[in-house]
Amino acid sequence: MEPLTLPVNQPLASVSAGLAVMRHVTPPQCVIHIGAGNGGIAGRQWKDLAVAQVVMIDAHPAVADQLANAVAEAPQWHSASLLLGADEAESVPFLVTSNPSANGCVPIERLRALWPNLRELETLKLPQRRLDQFLDTSHPQLAAQANWLVIDCFPALPILAGAGRYLDQLDLVCSRAILNPELLDVEGSSMAELTAYLTPQGFRQVALSEGLHPALGDAIFVRDAQAKRAAERQAQLATLTQERDAQTTLAAERLAQLATLTQERDAQTTLAAERQAQLATLTQERDAQTELAAGRQAQLATLAQERDAQTELAAERQAQLATLAQERDAQTEL
């Protein structure tokens, strides 16, 4: 890409003037224009810039036929009646208002700073799709060529989020933006939010066109290769830092587990030693009791022998007494 020729926040008379300048810096191969309305103004703009491939999208079903007519004469121009967002959904409220520029998903109370007399005419329930899913299924032949994205509606941030991997191939993003959130507060639409989202993707704001209301404008962001590389390196550094922190946390957890296991092992060792000492004491007590029982058994055996000897002696004496008695009786008879 050639060096950018516009400084940041370069004021422009109109967004068309900015796009005309950027056409020479980063030529459009295929433009995705979201919020194209009936295609009248958008069609003239891309015709004036000689853009060969265009996909114009608007969510309001009532302008679908007009939008289709606006692209009918260009063979590589296409249209779609489609509500886009960050997620796929079956039924999303779409407000039709008294001002076609205010049609969308933003409650009218938040837009009355722009249009004090704004009225809600009806609420439609529309399916919502992601931009990347739409391009994959409906225009795969153009998807790889798409390098300009124009978001002419609120809020822009969900649409950018729904672009998915296609954001990486874009060279230019032109978006409606809220310049003063204090005057107009629509989430996902402020300049600060857009800048915070697109800068890490490698984009740099190069031009700004104020709208009829001081709180509203259009910002042009262009892919900056150097900024993209810096963002990628920053992302890599953040990833490495997270991995390092995760490894440090894991190491600390493992060290704590090791300390716990060591404590448990030491406790088990101490318990085993205590039980071994108790077993030795019980063994000693058992041996002492066995020895004492053996001593007592020996004493009992000795006493039994002595008793038997005394019994035998008593029997002998009894026999002697009987003999003496017989001899005495015999002497008496004589």
Report which of 34, 79, 29, 71 is spatially closest to residue 52, judged by C-alpha positions: 29
- The whole-number average pLDDT for the span 127-142 is 93
Report DSSP state, residue 6: S
Query: In this predicted structure, what is the pLDDT of residue 160?
Result: 97
Task: Tell me the pTM.
Answer: 0.66
In a domain, residue 203? The reply is yes
Helix (H, G, I), strand (E, B) or coil at 279: helix
| Strands of the 83-84 sheet, one edge to the other | 83-84, 120-129, 89-97
Query: In this predicted structure, what is the pLDDT of residue 128?
Result: 97
In a domain, residue 300? The reply is no
Distances (CA, A) of 285 to 272, 274, 292, 293: 20, 16, 10, 12
Q: Are 54 and 31 in contact (CB under 8 A)?
A: yes
Give dist(CA 44, CA 16) in Å, integer. 11
Which amino acid type is present at position 15? V
Query: In this predicted structure, what is the pLDDT of residue 213?
Result: 79
pLDDT digits (tens, 9 = 90+) for 40-65: 999 999 999 999 999 999 999 999 99
Whether 302 has a pLDDT exceeding 80, the answer reads: yes
List, in sequence order, every residue forming a beta bridge with 317; answer none if it has no partner. none
Minimum mean pLDDT among 131-145, 188-202, 216-230: which range?
A: 216-230
Residue 22 domain boundaries: 10-223
Whether 134 has a pLDDT exceeding 60, the answer reads: yes
In a domain, residue 332? The reply is no
User: Which of 19-28, 151-160, 182-191, 276-285 tops mean pLDDT?
Assistant: 151-160
Mean pLDDT score of the chain, rounded to an integer? 89
pLDDT digits (tens, 9 = 90+) for 71-109: 998 999 999 999 999 999 999 999 999 999 899 999 999
In a domain, residue 232? The reply is no
Cis peptide before 7 (omega within 30 of 0): no
CATH of the domain at 162: 3.40.50.150
Query: In this predicted structure, what is the pLDDT of residue 224?
Result: 81
Whether 115 has a pLDDT exceeding 80, the answer reads: yes
In a domain, residue 281? The reply is no
Give dist(CA 31, CA 56) in Å, integer. 8
Annotate 99-130 with DSSP letters as a single string. SGGG-BSS-GGGGTTT-TT--EEEEEEEEEE-
Give dist(CA 15, CA 2) in Å, integer. 21
Helix axes 15-25, 40-48, angle to 10 degrees: 40
Query: Scanning the structure block, which residue is given the tokens 């015709």?
Result: 47
Structure token pair of residue 234: 């920053």
- The whole-number average pLDDT for the span 156-174 is 95
Q: What percent of the chain has pLDDT over 70?
A: 93
* Confidence bin at 180 (pLDDT 50/70/90): confident
* Confidence bin at 231 (pLDDT 50/70/90): low
In a domain, residue 280? The reply is no
Q: Are 194 and 218 in contact (CB under 8 A)?
A: no
- The whole-number average pLDDT for the span 128-135 is 96
Q: Are 118 and 112 in contact (CB under 8 A)?
A: yes
In a domain, residue 36? The reply is yes
Query: In this predicted structure, what is the pLDDT of residue 215?
Result: 85
Q: Are 135 and 170 in contact (CB under 8 A)?
A: no
* Confidence bin at 138 (pLDDT 50/70/90): very high
* Confidence bin at 145 (pLDDT 50/70/90): very high
In a domain, residue 291? The reply is no
Whether 228 has a pLDDT exceeding 60, the answer reads: no
Q: Are 78 and 55 in contact (CB under 8 A)?
A: yes
Give dist(CA 148, CA 30) in Å, integer. 6
In terms of pLDDT, which residue wins out, 70 or 15? 70
Structure token pair of residue 101: 């520029």
* Confidence bin at 226 (pLDDT 50/70/90): low
Give dist(CA 301, CA 329) in Å, integer. 42
* Confidence bin at 5 (pLDDT 50/70/90): very low
Whether 249 has a pLDDT exceeding 80, the answer reads: yes
Query: In this predicted structure, what is the pLDDT of residue 141?
Result: 85
Give dist(CA 7, CA 235) in Å, integer. 26
Give dist(CA 7, CA 58) in Å, integer. 32
Minimum mean pLDDT among 1-10, 43-52, 142-151, 297-306: which range?
A: 1-10
Whether 227 has a pLDDT exceeding 80, the answer reads: no
Helix (H, G, I), strand (E, B) or coil at 156: coil
Q: Are 186 and 194 in contact (CB under 8 A)?
A: no
Q: Domain tally for the chain?
A: 1
Give dist(CA 66, CA 58) in Å, integer. 11
